[in-house]
């Protein structure tokens, strides 16, 4: 009961008469009226009291409005607080975030074997007040030996551990090296190759893939929240639920392929069981710049049940009709027996016999998947990763790409040349130029190997996207003509804008089945093949998760076939995801530059060359790159004993200090040593800085001017009128590292700042990332490497076909 109810009861009790009036109607009415009046008075008093109370409440607007000076003062204080909070948040944008590092990615895959000497997961933070100039072992006060010993024994004395936690930066560890121009005048220099023994070095400190004086490459958790919010695990979906009506088999007696109808599945295609089937061959039929883009079909040759195919046929389409309608179409790429190939193999076999070489030269399979980082392999394809780790494959954890996209990184592997040298010697934009490039598969072919090359999604093939391609087939067995015909005539299903399904199989299955066929057909001979998949990994970080078990099964199949008994396998990628939401994260920056690379050595090589095993184990945590892969392929050629002209095994012109991975790589390699531009290098630590500072904004304007000048002068100004000049929009993030530069005379030093800036431009919200060196003494600015485009741009740059400027161009609307 409330206080008002008590007052009302008291008042009513006092008004009661002393006589009994219970039965008097007049009295009852009077009593009722008095009661109602008293209730109204009490309610009125309560309301007035509440209003008075509200008017005195200092948190109500009416009260505050009468005291404007107090309002102004509070507003000013609040504004100052918010501005200060915003500045601190931008300066330390990511420094308050805890970032977990893993000493070895094995621990992320359920059931995966873990080495006994791995250190446990350690959570560390970057000291906000840490000076980036102190980030060397000498400055920290630790020798390399101390760090290695501490890591291997899993124990650190109290003082040493405190130093590591305070001084060793692990957050924002996307690393940056310096340009060649800087190193030319720097105190840093290449370290000569040290002597190695069979004792493996201690693993790097927790949180690093590589740890040396010149390279501190961070190791990231695959499951960071900033990445996982953009990742989804997908299920595998077969392209067809019904079995193909036909099949092809190679007859080793007749040396021909046989095309046959599978009698068991006929009812699924024809109720009557009557079929009219025929096959057509797919042949290259292009001329000029379209020589590698156009194919034609022969007349459809009828067959009943089974037919033997001519060895002149490389690829076929099969069609079947029932009741005057087409009920079936499928395609098959073939590897027919060829006289010139057989003669080559026999010639080199005689050469080996004369030299009393008993074992055949090791075959080489290069199995590649586009745009998968080392970290994303574990994240998206854990079954494949587990299989690799558990079955003695050698991982190159410190493998760093050398350029932006697939073409220059694969050219480094296949030719040992960088982009600028390729453009000078064999530009892919000129007819017949690529045919004259010194591809490693030519060298293998010239030394008695069968060669093959397959890549899915013909429109974006490495040597054809915005390029002319090959005038002549570059290898003995070339899958591209088949895929051109199949993509045009077979049923297709898209995923992430790429052809996921092509008839009855995934596009990637045609690539890896081509590798399987090469290994089967030439099991007793030596072969070299490059097999590259784009469709399930190029456009989305999650797509490859659907193919995890599928790819693992291919690796298992090679083992079951006996292929791994005498074949060296390189299972690798070119880079990580180059665009999309993940690329805006700090993990994404690292992942783009650090693709996965695994090597398989056959048992006989491991037994005969134990030094190779030791070297690969040592190199696991050393800085390596695609030029090293190229030199490894040349090293394999040397093992054959067939190389008579040693010049074919010369060092890479682009990277004279790069070497075979079958030999120990120097620990103190720098990015300069292995020809990795500053923009791509992941070896130096840097700090986050205020992105809207005057220095960063001015630098961003200079970078945009740099892009506009590049486009305006591209191909003698031919694009100047086609592309809209870019303008400043905003800065997404900014980072800096500081280094000392030695003068030319070696008597003095100066400090230079290296910036990495991610920024948006107008129009169309282009997102770019650039690395630049700024010398405050000389007022010197230099852009290192390329400026990267981090979001998709095909719709913005349809008016430009040249890949060199396409990512920087925003076309005038009238051009579309």
Res. 110: pLDDT tops 80 = no
Q: Label residue 175 by pLDDT band (50, 70, 90).
A: very low
Q: Which of 21-30, 248-257, 487-496, 542-551 has the lowest mean pLDDT?
A: 21-30
- CATH 3.10.450 assigned to domain 688-815? The reply is yes
Query: Between β-strands 727-742 and 687-688, what pairing exists: parallel, antiparallel or unpaired?
Result: antiparallel
Please state, in angstroms and rounded to a whole number, the distance separating the CA atoms of residues 166 and 127: 7
Q: Label residue 194 by pLDDT band (50, 70, 90).
A: very low
Please state, in angstroms and rounded to a whole number, the distance separating the CA atoms of residues 181 and 19: 116
Cα 232 → chain centroid: 16
Look at residue 484 in the predicted model and tell me its pLDDT.
99
Q: Where are the domains of the chain?
A: 3-56, 207-685, 688-815
Task: List pLDDT tens digits, range 443-502.
Answer: 999 999 999 999 999 999 999 999 999 999 999 999 999 999 999 999 999 999 999 999
Tokens 């977990």, located at residue: 100
Task: List pLDDT tens digits, range 739-751.
Answer: 666 666 766 677 7
Task: List pLDDT tens digits, range 561-585.
Answer: 999 999 999 999 999 999 999 999 9
Superfamily in which the 207-685 domain is placed by CATH: Alkaline Phosphatase, subunit A (3.40.720.10)
Q: Which of 73-82, 152-161, 473-482, 535-544 has the lowest mean pLDDT?
A: 152-161
Whether residue 370 contacts residue 539, with contact meaning beta carbons closer than 8 Å, is answered with no
Of 786, 394, 418, 368, residue with least CA distance to 575 = 368
Task: List pLDDT tens digits, range 85-103.
Answer: 655 544 443 333 333 333 3
Res. 225: pLDDT tops 70 = yes
219: helix, strand or coil = coil
Token output for 520? 């089967």
Of 114, 158, 107, 166, residue with least CA distance to 139 = 166
Mean predicted confidence (pLDDT) in 710-728: 89
Of 371, 368, 409, 374, residue with least CA distance to 538 = 371
Q: What angle (nearest 5°) sits at the alpha carbon of residue 24, between those of residues 20 and 29?
A: 115
- Terminus-to-terminus CA distance in the chain, angstroms? 79
Mean predicted confidence (pLDDT) in 56-74: 61
Sign of CA dihedral 555, 560, 561, 564: positive
Res. 191: pLDDT tops 60 = no
Of 365, 99, 64, 55, residue with least CA distance to 225 = 99
Look at residue 241 in the predicted model and tell me its pLDDT.
95
Q: Which residue has the higher pLDDT, 754 or 295?
A: 295
Look at residue 127 in the predicted model and tell me its pLDDT.
35
Q: List phi, psi (to 5°) of 100.
A: -90, 135
Tokens 């299972």, located at residue: 571
Torsion angle, alpha carbons of 412, 414, 420, 425, to 10: 160
Look at residue 433 in the predicted model and tell me its pLDDT.
97
Whether residue 466 contacts residue 427, with contact meaning beta carbons closer than 8 Å, is answered with no
Res. 60: pLDDT tops 70 = no
* H/E segment holding residue 631: helix 626-639
Helix ranges (H only) for 292-405 are 339-354, 374-380, 382-390
Mean predicted confidence (pLDDT) in 308-321: 98
Mean predicted confidence (pLDDT) in 311-327: 97
**Bridge partner list, 527:** 450
Please state, in angstroms and rounded to a whole number, the distance separating the CA atoms of residues 329 and 318: 5
Res. 7: pLDDT tops 80 = no
Sign of CA dihedral 751, 671, 780, 788: negative
470: helix, strand or coil = coil
Res. 184: pLDDT tops 90 = no
Look at residue 375 in the predicted model and tell me its pLDDT.
98
Task: Characterize 747-767 residue by residue with b for buried, 16 or more Cβ atoms within 10 angstroms of its Cβ, and e for exposed.
Answer: eeeeebbbbbbbbbbeebebb
Of 446, 451, 442, 255, residue with least CA distance to 351 = 446
375: helix, strand or coil = helix
Please state, in angstroms and rounded to a whole number, the distance separating the CA atoms of residues 502 and 479: 14
Q: What angle (nearest 5°) sits at the alpha carbon of residue 815, between those of residues 811 and 816?
A: 90
Whether residue 573 contacts residue 596, with contact meaning beta carbons closer than 8 Å, is answered with yes
* H/E segment holding residue 785: strand 780-789
Q: Mean pLDDT score of the chain, rounded to an integer?
A: 83
Task: List pLDDT tens digits, range 417-441.
Answer: 999 999 999 999 999 999 999 999 9
Look at residue 200 in the predicted model and tell me its pLDDT.
80
Task: List pLDDT tens digits, range 246-304.
Answer: 999 999 999 999 999 999 999 999 999 999 999 999 999 999 999 999 999 999 999 99
Q: How many CA atoms are closer than 13 Å to the CA of 138, on its beta-carbon side?
A: 3
* H/E segment holding residue 483: helix 480-489
Query: Between β-strands 363-369 and 567-572, what pairing exists: parallel, antiparallel or unpaired?
Result: parallel
Look at residue 729 in the predicted model and tell me its pLDDT.
96
Of 408, 354, 384, 349, residue with least CA distance to 526 = 349
Q: Which of 84-98, 174-188, 494-508, 766-780 has the lowest mean pLDDT?
A: 174-188
**Bridge partner list, 529:** 365, 452
Res. 133: pLDDT tops 70 = no
Look at residue 737 in the predicted model and tell me its pLDDT.
84
Tokens 């290069």, located at residue: 366
Tokens 């070497």, located at residue: 659
Look at residue 309 in the predicted model and tell me its pLDDT.
98
Look at residue 370 in the predicted model and tell me its pLDDT.
99
Please state, in angstroms and rounded to a whole number, the distance separating the CA atoms of residues 527 and 445: 8
Please state, in angstroms and rounded to a whole number, the distance separating the CA atoms of residues 796 and 815: 11
Look at residue 796 in the predicted model and tell me its pLDDT.
84
Q: Label residue 413 by pLDDT band (50, 70, 90).
A: very high
Whether residue 395 contacts residue 620, with contact meaning beta carbons closer than 8 Å, is answered with yes
Q: Which of 36-40, 354-358, 505-509 has the lowest mean pLDDT?
A: 36-40
Q: Which of 175-184, 388-397, 545-554, 685-694 has the lowest mean pLDDT?
A: 175-184
Q: Which of 181-185, 374-378, 632-636 has the lowest mean pLDDT?
A: 181-185
Residue 468: Cβ-neighbour burial (10 angstroms; 0-12, 13-18, 19+): buried
pTM for the whole thing? Answer: 0.77
Please state, in angstroms and rounded to a whole number, the distance separating the CA atoms of residues 546 and 184: 47
Res. 669: pLDDT tops 60 = yes
Q: How many CB atoms sit inside 10 A of residue 35's CB? A: 14
Secondary structure (H, E, C), 77-115: HHHHHHHHHHHHHHHCCCCCCCEEECCCHHHHCCCCCCC
Token output for 67? 């005291």
Look at residue 431 in the predicted model and tell me its pLDDT.
96
Of 158, 277, 135, 266, residue with least CA distance to 211 = 135
Look at residue 746 in the predicted model and tell me its pLDDT.
67
Token output for 48? 């007035």
Please state, in angstroms and rounded to a whole number, the distance separating the CA atoms of residues 516 and 475: 17
Q: Label residue 684 by pLDDT band (50, 70, 90).
A: confident
Task: Tell me which long-range contacts 111-115 makes (C-beta under 8 A, separation of at least 24).
Answer: 111/386, 112/385, 112/386, 112/389, 112/390, 113/389, 113/390
Mean predicted confidence (pLDDT) in 502-519: 99
């Amino acid at each position: 009961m409330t206080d008002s109810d008590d007052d009302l009861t008291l008042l009513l009790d006092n008004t009661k008469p002393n006589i009994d009036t219970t039965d008097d109607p007049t009295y009852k009415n009077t009593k009722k009226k008095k009661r109602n009046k008293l209730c109204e008075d009490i309610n009125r008093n309560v309301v007035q009291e509440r209003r008075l109370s509200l008017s005195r409440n200092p948190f109500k607007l009416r009260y505050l409005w009468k005291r404007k000076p107090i309002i102004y003062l509070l507003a000013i204080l609040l504004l100052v607080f918010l501005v200060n909070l915003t500045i601190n948040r931008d300066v330390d944008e990511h420094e308050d975030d805890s970032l977990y590092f893993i000493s070895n990615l094995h621990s992320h895959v359920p059931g995966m074997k873990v080495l006994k000497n791995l250190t446990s997961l350690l959570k560390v933070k970057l000291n906000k007040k840490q000076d980036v100039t102190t980030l060397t072992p000498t400055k920290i006060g630790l020798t390399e030996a101390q760090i290695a010993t501490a890591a291997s024994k899993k124990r650190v004395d109290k003082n040493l551990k405190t130093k590591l936690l305070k001084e060793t930066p692990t957050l924002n560890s996307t690393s940056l090296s310096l340009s060649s121009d800087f190193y030319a005048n720097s105190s840093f220099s290449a370290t000569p190759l040290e002597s190695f023994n069979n004792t493996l070095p201690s693993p790097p400190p927790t949180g690093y893939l590589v740890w040396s004086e010149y390279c501190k490459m961070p190791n990231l958790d695959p499951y960071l929240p900033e990445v996982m919010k953009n990742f989804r695990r997908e299920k595998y979906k077969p392209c067809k639920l019904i079995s193909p009506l036909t099949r092809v088999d190679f007859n080793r007696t007749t040396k021909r392929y046989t095309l046959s109808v599978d009698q068991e599945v006929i009812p699924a295609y024809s109720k009557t069981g009557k079929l009219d089937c025929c096959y057509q061959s797919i042949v290259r039929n292009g001329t000029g710049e379209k020589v590698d883009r156009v194919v034609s079909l022969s007349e459809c040759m009828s067959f009943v049940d089974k037919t033997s195919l001519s060895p002149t046929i490389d690829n076929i389409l099969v069609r079947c009709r029932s009741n005057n309608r087409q009920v079936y179409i499928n395609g098959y790429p073939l590897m027919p027996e060829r006289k010139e190939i057989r003669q080559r193999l026999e010639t080199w076999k005689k050469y080996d016999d004369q030299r009393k070489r008993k074992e055949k030269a090791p075959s080489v399979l290069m199995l590649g998947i586009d745009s998968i980082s080392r970290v994303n392999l574990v994240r998206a394809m854990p079954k494949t990763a587990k299989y690799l780790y558990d079955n003695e494959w050698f991982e190159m954890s410190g493998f760093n790409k050398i350029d932006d996209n697939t073409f220059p990184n694969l050219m480094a592997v296949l030719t040992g040349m960088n982009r600028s040298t390729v453009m000078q010697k064999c530009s892919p934009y000129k007819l017949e130029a690529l045919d004259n490039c010194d591809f490693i598969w030519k060298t293998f072919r010239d030394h008695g190997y069968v060669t093959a090359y397959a890549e899915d999604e013909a429109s974006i093939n490495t040597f054809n996207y915005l390029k002319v391609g090959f005038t002549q087939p570059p290898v003995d067995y070339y899958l591209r003509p088949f895929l051109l015909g199949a993509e045009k005539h077979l049923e297709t299903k898209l995923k992430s804008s790429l052809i996921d399904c092509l008839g009855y199989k995934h596009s990637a299955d045609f690539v890896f089945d081509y590798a399987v066929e090469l290994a089967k057909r030439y099991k007793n001979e030596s072969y070299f093949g490059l097999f590259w998949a784009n469709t399930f990994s190029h456009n989305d970080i999650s797509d490859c998760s659907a193919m995890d078990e599928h790819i693992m099964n291919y690796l298992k199949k090679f083992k079951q076939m006996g292929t791994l008994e005498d074949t060296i396998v390189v299972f690798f990628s070119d880079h990580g995801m180059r665009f999309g939401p993940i690329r805006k994260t700090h993990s994404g920056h690292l992942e783009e530059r650090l693709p996965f690379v695994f090597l398989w050595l056959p048992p006989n090589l491991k037994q005969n060359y134990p030094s190779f095993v030791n070297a690969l184990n040592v190199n696991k945590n050393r800085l390596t790159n695609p030029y090293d892969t190229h030199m490894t392929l040349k090293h394999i050629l040397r093992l054959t004993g067939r190389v008579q002209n040693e010049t074919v095994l010369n060092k890479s012109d682009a990277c004279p200090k790069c070497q075979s991975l079958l030999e120990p790589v120097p620990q103190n390699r720098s990015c300069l040593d292995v020809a990795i531009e500053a923009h791509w290098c992941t070896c130096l630590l840097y700090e986050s800085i205020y992105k809207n500072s005057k220095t960063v904004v001015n630098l961003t304007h200079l970078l945009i001017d740099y892009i506009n000048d590049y486009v305006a002068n591209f191909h003698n100004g031919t694009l100047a009128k086609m592309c809209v000049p870019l303008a400043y929009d905003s800065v997404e993030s900014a980072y800096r590292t500081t280094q000392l530069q030695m003068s030319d005379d070696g008597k003095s030093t100066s400090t230079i700042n290296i910036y990495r800036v991610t920024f948006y431009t107008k129009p169309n919200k282009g997102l770019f990332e650039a690395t630049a060196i700024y010398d405050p003494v000389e007022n010197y600015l230099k852009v290192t490497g390329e400026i990267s485009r981090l979001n998709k741009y095909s719709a913005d740059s349809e008016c430009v076909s040249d890949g060199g400027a396409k990512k920087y161009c925003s076309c005038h609307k009238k051009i579309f």
